Structure 1
Amino acid sequence: MFVLLNDEFVNRNECLIDIEDRANQFGDGVYEVIRVYDGEFFLLHDHLKRLIYSLEEAKINYDIHHHNLADQLQKLVEMNNFKDGGIYLQISRGASPRSHPFPKHTQPTLIAYPIPVTRPLESQEKGIEAILHEDLRWLRCDIKSLNLLGNVMAKQSALDAGAKEAILYRDYNHVTEGSSTNVFIVKDGVVKTHPANHYILNGITRLYLFYLAELLNIPIVEEVYSIEELKNADEVFISSTTSEVISVIKIDDVQINNGKPGPIAQKFLQAFFKHKNIKHLSK
């Protein structure tokens, strides 16, 4: 496997990172996972736009255009003859003697490499179960940072309970998102999802569903909703780069839509690949 390390392509066993890289000691960095279908990136422009946002918000001085990152990632796909899966990339603030303040003279460290991702066809066909879990993460979830311990612990709680996802809430009246997904509810034909603010990550697949909703004439609104609304929804579904669209058919002990994937989620899923050649969702 070839790995992109800063501006060089190296074999995986040659990808050496300093032990004092701030990604290791502080989670001081940001990342993206970009889907590849049939050798082509899906919504690369939008992922890189979000990467720029995360870098700016984290005050990491890395210019993706100066480094020709889009071209480098395309070359990475070609060098690995990579047809289907994901490209993981992260940019840390760089290596420096351990100290909390930003180092003054360090260079950011970039790593990118292919990861195996397969379509979750069984989950899409049958739906999944989820649990409710208190959202104990920091309040800058809009930054796609390497600080994922809260997400990891919530996801593991779901798996320990025999479920696939944890749906997070700040209080009874404030459901936010999943541990690694965005969450949507449907009531009376209207789709509702949390506003894109600092409480959630503005998922690229989330944005793609807004694009599809307009094409499909499905009403969709950004609005905070409660646990009661979640449990009484006609449908619940999640989205992410790796999940695409998956219905949630049970939350804790409450069955959703009689334990079957809902029709609106299925409409999104059926339309998902009809428009996947779109180059970008925003300027």
Structure 2
Amino acid sequence: MYVYINGEIIDQNLVKISPFDHGFMYGLGLFETFRVDEGHPFLLEDHIHRLKKGLVELNIKWDYDTNKIVSVLDQLLKANGLSHAYIRLNVSAGTGEVGLQTRAYESPTTIIYIKPLAKSHMLEKEAVLLRTRRNTPEGSYRLKSHHYLNNILAKREIGDDSSKEGLFLNEQGFVCEGIVSNIFWIKNRVVYTPDSGTGLLNGITREFVLTLLQKLNIKYEVGYYEKETLIDCDEAFVTNSIQEVVPLIGINGQVLPGGKGSITNKVSDLYQYYKQKKLWSKAEVL
């Protein structure tokens, strides 16, 4: 496969970064993952907006815009012969001296990874409540950063079974998020999802689904919930930008309707409808 790094598209086996890159040394880097389907990067503007906001927090100067990213993606897709792809857009701080730096990073390392991805279709998963607790964010809110040990420990807990997703409780015992997803559940036709104050990563797909619920006139609540509230649900689904809306067939052995859930289906159908519209941002819905 060919990848992009700092202005070049090269064979992935030839990619090199400096051992003095502070993304490697101190974890100062952010990334976005998203789908490209039929050549279109869904909700790309929302991903770039979140990335840029996070880079300001890390004091990393980055001057790419949507047009530049689209141009690079077009070149990458052509070089790899793909029209459906998994994309990871990664920006790390760039090189610096050994030691903690307080001044701005002026020359970040930008890498765009790509791999083949099948056309999207509805998956179903079983959720398991994790013993591992979600750690608190490094700053005032969680960034999609290189700090992934908490997620790795959680993944080791449930193993490599792709049909399962682990669900974090935070340190206060509130339902937080999945290892690589956000969680939604339905009780008496009301949708519930944890507040970002629980320490979750505010996913681009999470925000898009909240927009879809408004469009569907489906009542939803965002708050702090104990695990008993989640397990007592009528249906549930998890979301991320690669797998999209994933119905749950169970949580901790409690059987759920999966893809047969009525509200889950409505959300998934509307998601796919807007995906066919090739949206750049959730702002185009309302």
Query: Shorter-chain TM-score: what band?
Result: 0.7 to 0.9
Cα pair 1:29 1:146 within 8 Å, conserved? yes
Whether 1:265 aligns to 2:264 is: yes
Return the offset for 1:62.
1.3
Between the aligned partners of 1:11 and 1:182, the Cα distance in structure 2 is 34
For residues 4 and 74 of structure 2, the distance between their equivalents in structure 1, rounded to whole angstroms, comes to 11
SS in structure 1 at match of 2:176: strand
Are 2:14 and 1:14 aligned? yes
CA distance in 1, matches of 2:66, 2:41: 20
* Alignment correspondent of 2:135: 137
Give the TM-score of the pair, scaled to structure 1. Answer: 0.87
1:161 and 1:80 mapped to 2: Cα distance? 29
Deviation at 1:86, TM superposition (A): 1.3
> CA offset at residue 28 of structure 1?
1.4
Q: State the percentage of identical aligned residues.
A: 29
Instruction: Name the SS for the 2:96 alignment partner.
Output: coil
Letter in 1 for 2:20: E
Alignment check: 8 A CA contact 2:61 2:104 kept: no
CA distance in 2, matches of 1:260, 1:132: 23
**How well do the aligned residues superpose, as a CA RMSD in angstroms?**
2.7
Q: Deviations over 1:2-41 (max 9, x none)?
A: 3211122222233211122222222210001121111211
1:282 correspondence with 2:283: yes
- Distance in 1 of aligned mates of 2:183 and 2:46: 20
User: What residue is the counterpart of 1:221 in the other structure?
Assistant: 221
CA distance in 2 between partners of 1:58 and 1:212 (Å): 31
Asked if structure 2 preserves the Cα contact closer than 8 Å seen for 1:172 and 1:226, the reply is no
Deviates more, 1:45-54 or 1:76-85: 76-85
8 Å CA contact retained: 2:23, 2:92: yes
TM-score (norm 2): 0.87
Determine helix, strand or coil for the equivalent of 2:196: coil
1:134 to 1:153, Cα distance in 2 relative to 1, 3 A: closer
Answer yes or no: is the 8 Å Cα contact 2:61–2:105 preserved in 1. no
Kindly state the Cα deviation for residue 226 of structure 1 after the two structures are TM-superposed.
1.1
Instruction: Give the 3 Å change call, closer, same or farther, for CA 238–7 of structure 1 in structure 2.
Output: same
Shift of 1:213: 1.5
SS at match of 2:19: coil
1:13-92 correspondence to structure 2 within 5 Å: 13-65=13-65, 68-92=68-92
Return the offset for 1:257. 2.7
State the aligned residue count. Answer: 280
Task: Tell me if structure 1 keeps the 8 A contact 2:93–2:105.
Answer: no
1:175 Cα deviation after fit: 0.9
Spell out, residue by residue over 1:106-134, the C-alpha distance to the aligned partner (whole angstroms, 9 max, x if none): 6211110212334674733xx42323334
1:31-79 deviation digits (Å, cap 9, x = unpaired): 0112111121111111111111111122212122399334333332333
Q: Contact (CA 8 Å) 1:43, 1:279: kept in 2 or not?
A: yes
The separation in 2 between residues aligned to 1:75 and 1:236, in whole angstroms, is 38
Superposed counterparts of 1:184-263, under 5 Å = 184-197=184-197, 199-252=199-252, 254-257=253-256, 261-263=260-262
**1:94 — aligned with what?**
94
The 10-residue stretch of structure 1 (18-27 or 259-268) with the greater mean CA deviation from structure 2: 259-268
CA distance in 2, matches of 1:118, 1:66: 24
CA shift digits 1:150-195 (9 cap, x unpaired): 1111122122799611111125651111111001111110111122
The equivalences for 1:106-145 within 5 A come to 107-118=107-118, 121=121, 123-124=123-124, 127-139=125-137, 140=139, 142-145=142-145
Q: Which letter maps to 1:110? A: T
SS of 2:17's equivalent? coil
How far did 1:102 drift?
4.1
User: How far is the alpha carbon of 1:103 from its aligned partner?
Assistant: 6.3
Q: Matches of 1:194 and 1:215 in 2, distance apart?
A: 20
Sort the Cα spacing of 1:204 and 1:72 in 2 relative to 1 into closer, same or farther, 3 A.
same
Distance 1:91 1:242, change over 3 A: same
- Cα 1:74/1:66, change in 2 over 3 Å: closer
After superposition, give the CA deviation of every residue in 1:81-100 in whole Å (9 maximum; x if it has no partner).
32112111111111223323
Q: Which runs of 5 or more structure 2 residues have no equivalent in the other structure? A: none
